[in-house]
Amino acid sequence: MSSCILLATNNEAKVLRFRKLIQYASPKTTLLTPKEADISSVDVEETGHTLLENATLKARAYSRLTSLPILANDTGFFVKGEGFVLAPKRTALGIHSDSRINSKEIAEAMLAFWKSIARNHGGQVDATWIESFVLIHPDGTLHATESRREIILTDQEFGHTHPDMPLRSLYISKLTNKPAVMHTEEEELLEMRPVIDALTKLVITLS
C-alpha cells in the first residue's frame, strides 16, 4: 500500500537524500516537503538535550498542522577525542549571520571549521555520524530509531558536494574505505545502509 509522509525539513540537500533513500526502504512511500503539502515552514528552536529530543520537537511542531504522518531527524557528529561537536554552523560562522552571506560562503566557513578539527588530530581522526529519527503517526503514536556511520574525518577536500552538506567532501567511509564524495552508487548505498535500515523500521510501523 502506498503512503505519503511529511518530511519535517526544507533543507534541500536533506530532501534530496531522504527521497532517494526512502525508495530503498519503502518504494511505495512518498516524502512530501511542507511546501508541497501546502504547510507553512516552521522554525523550530532545537532546545532538546539529545538528538532524539530535537527530532521530536521538529516532528511535533508540524503535527499540529497536518494529518499526515511526520518524519523528522536530528544529526550529531561525534569526534574521537573531542566528543559531540556542538553547534558547528554557529561556531563556524562566528559573528556572521547566515542570512547575510550566501550558501557558498557558508559552505566555505564550514569546511574551514571541520578541517581545523582534523588538523588538531594530525590531519585525520575517527568520527561517527549519529542520526535520530522520529515518525509521528496521525493518531499521535511516536516511533523512534537511530543510525550510526563510522568515518574518518580529514583536512583534505576530495571533491565537491551539495553546499548544504560540505562535510561530505572531507571524510572517508570506513565501510567503503573511500572518500564519500567519490562513491559509486553502490558504495553510496553501502555507506547509507544504517540510515536505510532506520527508515525501514519506521515506515513499517505505518502498515
Task: Give the model's pLDDT for residue 148.
Answer: 98
Q: Could you give all domains of the chain from N- to C-terminal order, each with its CATH number?
A: 3-206 (3.90.950.10)
Quote the pLDDT of residue 2: 64
pLDDT, position 97:
58
135-190: pLDDT as tens digits: 999 999 999 999 999 999 999 999 988 888 899 999 999 999 999 999 999 999 99
The burial of 166, by beta-carbon neighbours within 10 Å (0-12 exposed, 13-18 middle, 19 or more buried), is given as buried
pLDDT digits (tens, 9 = 90+) for 69-91: 999 999 999 999 999 997 787 78
* The pLDDT value given to residue 15: 93
pLDDT value for 95: 55
Which tens digits make up the pLDDT trace of 86-127? 778 778 887 555 567 788 888 999 999 999 999 999 999 999
- Tens-place pLDDT, residues 55-67: 999 999 999 899 9
